[in-house]
């Protein structure tokens, strides 16, 4: 009997060799102008070489005003198409597919960078983001329609680059979530109010992409099953899984090929990525974000002084009670799967082969980021019959909280024989062997 993990997954327009997806995760690998680098190619190929069926790219903005951190590659310019093409070829050379995640930060912009520091971010609302105090400005109806076109244009560039598909990042608090969430969207035009109106932006983007790239290009949508927006207790709870099931059905009806199910209306969120939150590490990395939001300094103080940490710890960990780390969003993904006919991928703490096999009886695939950052060869470990790798991911989330300041990779020293060994692994992807050129004289 074949292992369900390694059975191919056939989408409408794409077949992936197994059920393992590298979920979107990135470091500050790329150039300030948004062009990708060899480092990113090395990063993505690490997972493709490890045996995943598909790599879902990092968060890729369709516009420069939608970056979350300067240093992440964008797809806002046609002249970047060859770069993405190169990346796609590199991943496919290892037998994996490459799905580009089309994204826009909306108000959830962690480090604005030189392009965005002088202006509030475009968003469906002018209410600042609650946790960090990121500023935003509600888009006019016309600006929303322009945003729809920009997403379609991003999808066209992905297709032109020969990539295997696109994913709309409509989860985890970014622009699409800000439209979808009843706790965030306070618009009074046709993009606010009822669930249908709040979903209108996402559905128009799907339609526009289909118009632009046709029916035969893979388009999937990542949704947060439940908002759990009340991380700060005075905030509204936001959308429920019932709302999201309805949105998922509308996505399917408009031509989405798959759904990727996460949770939470902000990122990071107590339930995404699940696991610990190392406040002591935040004390030395969050300073990179102090000036990004009007509440940055307050948060930094909460992290910096141990006597204040219980305040944040209470806020953060109260939502985790009674919930598992592995498969934290599985039950909600099942509910959505039961309501649609297209494949559903679940993300959230997956790492154990047996758990994944059990889940695949009800859903179609799993995506992982941290487990693969810790062990890029996890698919091969599973294929060899092991349930867990010898040194599994601890879900400590040090990789997450280091993102604004430290190189992306595993920072859990306990997983390495020495600090040097940890740093050696972190530096592997920077071994670019670049061909350096002398700029032409003017």
Partner 1 sequence: MTAVSAVEAALAQRRRRWRPVLWLILAAVLIALFVGIGLIIRVLQSGTAHYSDDDQHFRHGSIGAEVASGIPYKVWQALPVLFPEEFPAGDYSSFGFLYDGTQDLPIGISKRRVSGVDLVWFNCAVCHAGTYRESEEDTPRIITGMPAHQLDLHGFTKVVLGAASDPRMAPDSLRRAMADAGVGLGLIERILWNLAVFPRLREGMIERASRLQPLLDRQPDWAHGRVDTFNPYKVLEFDWPTASLSEEEVVGASDFPSIFLQGPRAEMQLHWDGNNPSLAERNLSAALGAGVTPDTVDHRSIERVADWLLDLEPPASPHQPDADAVARGFDIYVRDCASCHGWQSPDGYVFEGDLLGEITPLDEVGTDPNRLHSYTQDFRDQQVAELFKGTPYAFRQFQKTDGYANAPLDGLWLRGPYLHNGSVPTLADLLIPPPERPKKFLRGGDVIDPQGGFISPTCTTEAACFDTGVRGNSNAGHMWGTDLEQPDKSDLIAYLLTF
Task: Give the binding site for partner 1 (CB under 8 A).
Answer: 112, 117-120, 128, 133, 135, 291-294, 296
| Orientation angle between helical segments 141-160 and 81-92, nearest 10 degrees | 50
Max Cα-Cα span within the chain: 66
Instruction: Name which of 291 and 354 has its Cβ closer to partner 1.
Output: 291
Name the burial class of residue 407, with classes exposed (0-12), middle (13-18) and buried (19+) by CB atoms within 10 angstroms of its CB: middle
Distance CA 429, CA 49 (A): 13
Contact status, residue 22 vs residue 369, Cβ threshold 8 Å: yes
Q: How far is the CB of 293 from partner 1 (least distance, A)?
A: 6
Instruction: Name which of 117 and 311 has its Cβ closer to partner 1.
Output: 117
Q: How far is the CB of 112 from partner 1 (least distance, A)?
A: 7
Task: Give me the numbers of helices (H) and strands (E) for the chain, helices first please.
Answer: 16, 12
Contact status, residue 61 vs residue 67, Cβ threshold 8 Å: yes
- 392: helix, coil or strand? coil
Instruction: Name which of 128 and 258 has its Cβ closer to partner 1.
Output: 128
Structure tokens at 427: 């530096």
Count of positions (residues) in the chain:
442
| Residues marked as catalytic | 174
Instruction: Name which of 121 and 285 has its Cβ closer to partner 1.
Output: 121
Q: Which residues contact 153 (CB under 8 A, 6 or more apart)?
A: 62, 212
Q: How far is the CB of 138 from partner 1 (least distance, A)?
A: 15
Distance CA 318, CA 332 (A): 20
Instruction: Name which of 112 and 273 has its Cβ closer to partner 1.
Output: 112
Instruction: Name which of 135 and 223 has its Cβ closer to partner 1.
Output: 135
Q: How far is the CB of 135 from partner 1 (least distance, A)?
A: 5
> 264-293 in b/e burial notation, b at 16+ Cβ within 10 A?
bbbbbbbbbbbbbbbbebbbebbbbbeebb
Q: How far is the CB of 441 from partner 1 (least distance, A)?
A: 35
Name the burial class of residue 6, with classes exposed (0-12), middle (13-18) and buried (19+) by CB atoms within 10 angstroms of its CB: middle
- The residue whose two tokens read 């597919």 is 97
| Orientation angle between helical segments 241-253 and 195-213, nearest 10 degrees | 30
Q: How far is the CB of 56 from partner 1 (least distance, A)?
A: 31
Q: How far is the CB of 314 from partner 1 (least distance, A)?
A: 26
Q: Is the dihedral of CA 175, 178, 180, 185 positive or negative?
A: negative
Instruction: Name which of 117 and 242 has its Cβ closer to partner 1.
Output: 117
Instruction: Name which of 34 and 293 has its Cβ closer to partner 1.
Output: 293
DSSP 441: P
Q: How far is the CB of 121 from partner 1 (least distance, A)?
A: 9
Q: How far is the CB of 120 from partner 1 (least distance, A)?
A: 5
Instruction: Name which of 66 and 293 has its Cβ closer to partner 1.
Output: 293
Distance CA 27, CA 416 (A): 20
How far, CA to CA in Å, does 285 sit from each of 188, 230, 310, 405? 38, 24, 19, 6
Is the bond preceding residue 347 a cis peptide, omega within 30 degrees? Answer: no
Contact status, residue 198 vs residue 179, Cβ threshold 8 Å: yes
């Amino acid at each position: 009997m074949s292992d369900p993990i390694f059975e191919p997954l056939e989408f409408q327009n794409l077949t992936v060799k197994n059920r393992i997806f590298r979920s979107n995760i990135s470091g500050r690998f790329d150039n300030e102008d948004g062009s990708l680098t060899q480092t990113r190619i090395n990063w993505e190929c690490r997972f493709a070489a490890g045996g995943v069926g598909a790599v879902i790219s990092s968060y890729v903005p369709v516009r420069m005003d939608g970056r979350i951190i300067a240093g992440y590659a964008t797809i806002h310019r046609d002249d970047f198409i060859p770069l993405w093409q190169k990346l796609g070829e590199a991943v496919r050379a290892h037998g994996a597919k490459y799905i580009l995640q089309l994204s826009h930060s909306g108000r959830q912009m962690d480090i604005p960078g030189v392009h965005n520091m002088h202006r509030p971010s475009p968003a469906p609302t002018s209410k600042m983001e609650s946790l960090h105090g990121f500023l935003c400005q509600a888009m006019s109806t016309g600006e929303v329609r322009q945003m729809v076109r920009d997403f379609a244009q991003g999808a066209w560039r992905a297709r032109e680059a020969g990539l295997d598909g696109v994913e709309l990042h409509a989860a985890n608090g970014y622009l699409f979530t800000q439209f979808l969430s009843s706790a965030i969207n306070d618009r009074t035009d046709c993009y606010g109010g009822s669930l249908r109106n709040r979903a209108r932006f996402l559905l128009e983007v799907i339609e526009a992409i289909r118009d632009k790239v046709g029916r035969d290009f893979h388009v999937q949508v990542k949704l947060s099953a439940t908002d759990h927006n009340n991380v700060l207790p005075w905030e509204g709870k936001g959308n429920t899984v019932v709302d999201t099931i309805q949105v998922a059905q509308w996505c399917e009806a408009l031509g989405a090929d798959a759904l990727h199910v996460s949770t939470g209306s902000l990122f990071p969120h107590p339930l995404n990525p699940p696991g610990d939150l190392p406040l002591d590490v935040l004390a030395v990395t969050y300073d990179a974000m102090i000036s990004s939001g009007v509440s940055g300094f307050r948060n930094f103080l909460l992290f910096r002084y141990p006597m204040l940490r219980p305040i944040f710890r209470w806020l953060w960990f109260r939502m985790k009670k009674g919930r598992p780390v592995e498969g934290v969003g599985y039950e909600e993904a099942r509910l959505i799967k039961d309501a649609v006919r297209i494949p559903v991928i679940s993300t959230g703490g997956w790492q154990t082969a047996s758990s994944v096999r059990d889940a695949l009886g009800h859903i179609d695939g799993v995506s992982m980021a941290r487990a693969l950052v810790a062990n890029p060869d996890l698919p091969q470990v599973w294929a060899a019959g092991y349930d867990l790798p010898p040194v599994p991911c601890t879900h400590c989330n040090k990789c997450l909280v280091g993102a604004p300041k430290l190189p992306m990779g595993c920072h859990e020293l306990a997983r390495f024989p020495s600090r040097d060994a940890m740093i050696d692994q972190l530096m592997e992807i920077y071994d670019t062997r670049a061909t350096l050129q002398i700029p032409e004289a003017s």
